[in-house]
Amino acid sequence: MMISALPALTLPSFPVEILRARCATCSMHQLCLPMGLDMADMDRLDQIIGRRRKVARGATLFRIGDPFVSLYAIRLGHFKTYQINPNGEEQVTGFQMGGELLGMDAISADRHHCNSVALEDSDVCEIPFASLQQLLADMPTLLRHFHRMMSQEITREQGVMLLLGNMQATQRFAAFIVNLASRYEARGYSSTKFQLRMSREEIGNYLGLTIESISRLLSKFKKSGLLKVSNREIELLNPAKLKAITAGTETCI
């Protein structure tokens, strides 16, 4: 409940090894997760996966208006997606990491509705949507899984709406940190010590706050012993209390 206040985990809780062990092309992407896919199915899935593609830090994977051809599974790296409002200002709508799927917003109108930019040098797999669709019709398990992923994205965004519509700055920021931590944990990385791949500005934009506010919040969290911060490296010194702040249980710090 407290964690669901923010974008839910995008990865089901799986032993990461299982994912790594399998799927020739995309050692870790979401489409390989479906439980119950037999080997033959796995192979068919592998076959439709298009080319692997490297995306340099700062490079654009797709932009608003691009025709929709493929979904992208992130193999390695981090991305941000953002919208452009009519004044040309950005609104970051999400940060994505290894194992997550990009481009699902484009299905509705055959055009991408947001820009996607790599936050660091990254690898993705192209998944041509036309091929995927054919496969989905044949493979009920994969179909079910695909629907889960789309639905999960809907749920994630509802969490962000809650965050933006309902929470104070401190709570938003705590929720952001806790969410990152749980996603790294699900991937087998440390949930208490990691690099922020995004700038203060990008965090602020995502959370509906200014860069100065983010900076002040980091300082406040540092002072109150919740975080150790050194540039973009952060360490969670008191995850429980951070979760409590996210949940709104612990209000002032």
Partner DNA sequence: CGTGAATTTGACTGACATCAACTCAGGTGG
Partner DNA sequence: CCACCTGAGTTGATGTCAGTCAAATTCACG
Name the residues that contact DNA, by CB under 7 A: 168-170, 199-201, 208-216, 218-219, 229, 231-232
- Amino acid identity at 138: D
What are the strands, taking DSSP E only, across the chain?
Answer: 52-55, 60-62, 70-76, 78-84, 90-97, 101-102, 115-118, 122-128, 193-195, 227-230, 233-236
Beta bridge partners of 96: 79
Binding-site partner at residue 150 among DNA, its own copies, none, CB < 5 to 8 Å by type: its own copies
By C-beta, is 124 or 207 nearer to its own copies?
207
Alpha-carbon span 28 to 25, nearest angstrom: 9
From the list 31, 38, 33, 9, the residue with the least C-alpha distance to 19 is: 33
Matching residue, tokens 């209390």: 241
By C-beta, is 5 or 119 nearer to its own copies?
5
By C-beta, is 21 or 154 nearer to its own copies?
154
Among 153, 178, 181, 242, binds its own copies (CB under 8 A): 153
Alpha-carbon span 250 to 248, nearest angstrom: 5
Calculate the CA 224 to chain-centre distance: 28
By C-beta, is 22 or 222 nearer to DNA?
222
Q: What angle do CA 223, 237, 170 make, to 5 degrees?
A: 55
Shortest distance in whole angstroms from residue 122 CB to DNA: 16
Per CB under 8 A, the segment of 29-37, 39-47, 201-209, 217-225 that binds its own copies is: 201-209
Shortest distance in whole angstroms from residue 117 CB to its own copies: 16
- Amino acid identity at 88: G
**# binding residues, its own copies (CB under 8 A):** 55
Cβ neighbours around 72 below 10 Å, total? 24
By C-beta, is 135 or 227 nearer to DNA?
227
Residues in contact with its own copies by CB under 8 A are: 1-2, 4-5, 8, 83, 85-87, 89, 91-93, 104-109, 113-114, 133, 136-138, 140, 143-144, 147-155, 157-162, 164-167, 205-208, 246-249
